[in-house]
Amino acid sequence: MGYIYTKVDFFLRQFLLMLSITPLSVQSERDTSRDKYRNPYSTLEFFGLNPEMDVLEISPGGGWYTEVLAPYLEGTLFAAHFNPDGDRAYYKRSRDNYVKRIESDPKLFKNVSIAIFDADQNILTVDNDSVDAVLTFRNVHSWLRSNSESNAFALFFKALKPGGILGIVQHRAKPGTTIKAMKNSGYVTEEYVIELAKKRWLCL
C-alpha cells in the first residue's frame, strides 16, 4: 500500500534573473566580464548557501558558475553534466571540454565531483538525500523543449536532503505565456517553474 510523505521544511528558493547591479565581495582570476549581468555572489547569498554545504550544480555547461562555486564551497560540489553515452555529439563535446577544464586546475576544482544528469533518460548519478542544495542556471527552458522538465524536478527532489534548497535562475516570461511560446522563446513563467517544484513536494 502506498503512502504519502514530504521532506520536512523542503522549500523552493526561486531567483529569476536579477536586473540590478551589485558590487562583488569576492574577486578571483576567473572571467568576470558577465558578473554585472549575472550577479553571482548576490545570487548565492539569495539562495542561502553556506560554504560547508554539499551542492549539486545541474548542467554546468562550460563551467562559468562552477568557477564561482568551487572556491566558495568547503563541501563537495557535484557537477552533473551531460550523459557521455548520449547520442548527441554536442553533448559529448561539451562534457569533454568541461572535464578538461576541471582537470586543468586541480587546486581550484579540488572539491568538484563530476556526475551525470540526463532528464530524458531519468538519470542522475548522485545518491538520494545527499545534497544540501540543487542549483541550476538558465536550463529550465531546455528541459521544457524536450518535455523532460517533470523528470528533472523529480530527480532534484530525490537528491536533496530534508530541508534542502532548490535554487533556480531562469529568464522569466510574462504571466500567461503558453508552453509553446515558452519553448520557442527560452523564457519561462514564474508560475510554471513553481508548479513544477510543487508537484514534487509529495511522493508516493
Burial of 189 per CB tally in 10 Å (0-12, 13-18, 19+): buried
Q: What is the pLDDT of residue 39?
A: 62
Note whether 7 and 163 are within 8 A (CB): yes
Closest C-alpha to 13, from 167, 153, 135, 131: 167
Kindly list the structural domains of the chain, giving each domain's residue range(s) and its CATH number in brackets, ordered by start. 5-203 (3.40.50.150)
Query: In whole angstroms, what is the distance from residue 32 CA to residue 30 CA?
Result: 6
pLDDT at 32: 53
Count CB neighbours of 60 within 10 A. Answer: 29
Q: Please tell me whether the overall predicted TM-score, pTM, comes out greater than 0.95 for this model.
A: no
Give me the average pLDDT of each 10-residue run along the chain (204 residues). Answer: 32 35 37 53 82 97 94 96 92 96 96 98 98 94 96 95 90 94 95 88 44
